[in-house]
A and B are shown apart, each in its own frame.
Chain A
Amino acid sequence: MIHNKVIYGNVTVIDLIVALIILVVSIGVAKALVLYTRRLLKEKVDKGQLEVFAKVLYYAIIVTAVLVVLPLLGVKPSGLLVAGGVVGLAIGFASQSIIGNLISGIFLIIERPIKMGQSVNIEGTVGIVEDIRIMSTTLRTFEGLYVRVPNQKVFTSNITNYVANVARRVDYTIGIPYTAEAEEAISLIKRLIEAEPFALKNPEPVVYVDNLGDNSVNIIVRFWSPVSEWFSIKTKMLWRMKKVLEEEGIEIPFPQRVLWFANELKGSVKVDPASWRDTSASGRERSY
């Protein structure tokens, strides 16, 4: 009978067919289980965690199936351990970076310093995490570029996660003229922060005179915002503060320098107030 025909060793055609069936069925079962798990846990588990769980489940079923099939194909798993040790050593030396990436990928999945969809900075590359795979992590930069970073590099680099915490601080330094009332400026800024819904009530905003600069009295402004709103608030509030201060007659000063000449200058300059206009570096136009 053909199905009893020995192919090699003790392995017959029927063994080979059974092994193939087990592998195909296992792959089918693994895919179906992963699909079912994704549907079942879609709304209950974080997307990143669900993907990790699905991958682990899939590979666990496949590895189990391979271990079941091996004896049918005349391969003893215990023998593999001895052979595997020698071969593994050779492969290990030859593929250090691959193994490094793989191990780093596993640790990234366990430690989870970054998650899919988060804005991060990985050694100077700033973007949104698109995927964390077993060998590499992909980012989409804010310019829309695709960046693939090997997991070993991700794991050993300094990572800045911009959205890991629920709130983030907004910091400004605002200069006002020496002639202006600092208390009034502080009060105006505080009122503006209070009126902004996404400038958090707690931690309490802080506004104070920090130092007396070369050209201005420098006021430090610090308040917290939900991390999801941080960028829009940071960009919006500074301009609002500038406008409010100017409306109240407090102009943001620009660098000025008073020059004293050791000797009296020779010659003279006549200025016709009606026709002469000076445009300063700040772009402001002044009439004399």
Chain B
Amino acid sequence: MFGTYDIPVEFQEDEISISLHRDQDLLIYHRDCLGDACDKRMFSKAEKILMIPIEPVTQPKAITPYLFIKLDKTLLLEPESTARIYVTFPLEIGVFASHGGNPQFIDGFTLTKKKFTLYGEPSMGRICRYWASGVHTTIPDIDGLREGIMEINIQNTDTDWVEVKKAVFNAYGMKIFYGQGMVSMKSTVKLRPGGMAETSFESSPIKEGATKSVEKYALKRISVATGKFVMEHGL
């Protein structure tokens, strides 16, 4: 479903239906997803729309830029070692109007369960979008409308064994790619002494040939953000 569509658009797949048509200068947009509807009227000369994956932290409301992935199995890493695993992440779909310069965000939705959690303590912690995932050593089979695949390269820089049960990522650094049969991200988790870790993203897809999605949480919007996240409340 991901890609560019010429207006007028009539789209129907799974439990998603989208329509966009022009009435003189007005663009009339309607979307329905699992009973949740969105109607918008736009004065725009846009001729195309993009339906692409966006950072999975905006639904039902963008209250946090953090994504918390709970691993279903605890990982144990020996001192100064590396490991590569694959996990899933929730897909959120963004609709953008395209006319010349930057695409304009119109709407976002998801077919996945929406849930938030707290990482750390109520006083100093972070609210995060919650997702539970299995741990895989090869690219798993997924439902392409609901899940994406994240490759995590874990580096244990500690001189001791480290246990990992979760990972928290910052949407301001996410580089999402679509195409080649999947939506994917590549990330790095550097485990540091003292039960801490630093998570970040790489600007490359898991499979070559995939297209980079639009960054809704672009770094330029807040120059102080680095896109990295330091997990200081446990692994």
A-to-B contact residues, CB < 8 Å: 43-44, 164-168, 197-198, 200-203, 224, 226, 228-229
Contacts and interface: CB of A to CB of B under 8 A. Distances in A.
Contacts of B222: 43-44
Interface stretch (B123-131, B149-157, B184-192): B123-131
23 contacts: A43-B222, A43-B223, A44-B222, A44-B224, A165-B122, A165-B123, A166-B122, A166-B125, A168-B122, A197-B115, A200-B118, A200-B127, A201-B115, A201-B116, A201-B117, A201-B130, A202-B117, A202-B118, A202-B130, A203-B122, A224-B122, A226-B64, A226-B127
B168 to A, nearest CB: 12
A198 B125 contact: no
- Main SS at interface, chain B: loop
B115 A167 contact: no
Interface in B92-124: 114-119, 122-123
B79 interface: no
Contacts of B122: 165-168, 203, 224
B140 interface: no
Contacts of B224: 43-44
Nearest to A225: B116
B142 to A, nearest CB: 22
Nearest to B126: A166
A39 to B, nearest CB: 14
Contacts of B119: 202
B60 interface: yes
B63 interface: yes
Nearest to B127: A226
Contacts of B116: 197-198, 200-201, 226
Interface in B45-79: 60-61, 63-64
Contacts of A197: 60, 114-116
Contacts of A168: 122
Contact of B63 (A164, A202, A229): A229
A198 B129 CA distance: 10
Contacts of A165: 122-123
B59 to A, nearest CB: 8
A200 B114 contact: no
Contacts of B60: 197
A226 B114 CA distance: 14
Which residue of B63, B64, B127 has the most chain A CB atoms within 10 A of its CB atom? B127
Nearest to A43: B222
B118 A166 contact: yes
Contacts of B61: 229
Given A43-B223, A44-B224, A202-B117, 20 more contacts: A164-B123, A165-B122, A166-B118, A166-B127, A167-B122, A167-B125, A197-B115, A197-B116, A200-B116, A201-B116, A201-B117, A202-B118, A202-B119, A202-B130, A203-B118, A224-B118, A226-B64, A226-B116, A228-B63, A229-B61
Nearest to A169: B122
Contacts of A203: 118, 122
Nearest to B64: A226
Interface string B212-235: 000000000011100000000000
A224 B61 CA distance: 17
Contacts of A226: 63-64, 116, 127
Nearest to A167: B122
Which residue of B63, B116, B117 has the most chain A CB atoms within 10 A of its CB atom? B116
Contacts of A200: 116-118, 127
Contacts of B125: 166-167
A74 to B, nearest CB: 49
A167 B115 CA distance: 14
A197 B119 CA distance: 15
A98 B122 CA distance: 37
Nearest to A229: B63
Contacts of B118: 166-167, 200, 202-203, 224
Contacts of A164: 123
Which residue of B61, B119, B122, B126 has the most chain A CB atoms within 10 A of its CB atom? B122
A14 B130 CA distance: 71
Interface in B11-69: 60-61, 63-64
Contacts of B130: 201-202
B30 to A, nearest CB: 23
Contacts of A43: 222-224
**Among all A-B residue pairs, the 4 with the closest Cβ atoms:** A197-B114, A201-B117, A167-B122, A165-B122
B223 A44 contact: yes
